[in-house]
Amino acid sequence: MIVPCLDPDSWSESLDTAVDAIRAGKVIVLPTDTVYGVGADAFDADAVAAVLAAKGRGRHMPPPVLIPSIGTVEGLARDVPAEAKALMEAFWPGPITVILWSQPSLAWDLGDTAGTVALRVPAHDAALALLMSTGPLAVTSANRTGESAATTAQEAQRQLGDAVAVYLDAGASPGGRASTIVDATAPDGLTIVRDGGIAREAIVAVIGEAALVARS
């Protein structure tokens, strides 16, 4: 089911439909500031597995987790480096994903994460409104593995079909490029593991060249 999600004055019914689907353990597609994402409740292991199955992806590639604000990080991650906090403060909401050590007490199963979690706050009003109601969502790009990431709800539906219960349609993605991913779990510094919406130069301007280490 595709439901409109363009106008804040009229999208409440569509968001309620998506929230109901999430709470029922189903998979949805939502707009973000980069590309469309396919996701589910991050604390529902079966729903997360359904997200991976919809993409044709295994547990070895766990999905990132979208959150509504930087204030959510403390409850989900531990030992957050000062440099990672600086990036969050500078670029969230926005297209940068930060890999951190997960809080060990959390009852979730995102896949083979080796004790880490990748967090992001999207700069998209509809996505943030949804996250305020649902809490953390395990979300990855809305496409079958090997195909291009969807930049419209219609393209996501073409690829994912009935594996998704609700498609939120907010028009074409404003970014159209995946987020930059920064790994902040190493003791000797941060590593850019995927180039994306935030340039390396912008990251260096915030934390300095010395805070970055080369990818091994």
Q: Please give the pLDDT value at position 103.
A: 95
pTM of the predicted model, to two decimals? 0.95
Average pLDDT over residues 54-73: 94
Give me 199's structure tokens. 């340039």
Domains of the chain: 2-211 (3.90.870.10)
Q: Tens digit of pLDDT for each residue in 15-46? A: 999 999 999 999 999 999 999 999 999 999 99
Q: What is the DSSP string of 73-87?
A: HHHHEES--HHHHHH
For 30, 74, 98, the CA distances from 191, given in Å and listed in that order, are: 28, 21, 10
Q: What is the DSSP string of the chain?
A: -EEE---TTT-HHHHHHHHHHHHTT--EEE--SSS-EEEEETT-HHHHHHHHHHHT--TTSPPPEE-S-GGGHHHHEES--HHHHHHHHHH-SSSEEEEEEEPTT-----SS-TTEEEEE--S-HHHHHHHHHH--EEEEESS-TTSPPPSSHHHHHHHHGGG-SEEEE-SS-SS-SPPEEEE--STT-BEEEE--SS-HHHHHHHH-GGGB----
Q: Please give the pLDDT value at position 174.
A: 85
How far apart CA 146 and CA 27 sit, in angstroms, is 20
Q: Does position 215 have pLDDT exceeding 90, yes or no?
A: no
Average pLDDT over residues 138-166: 95
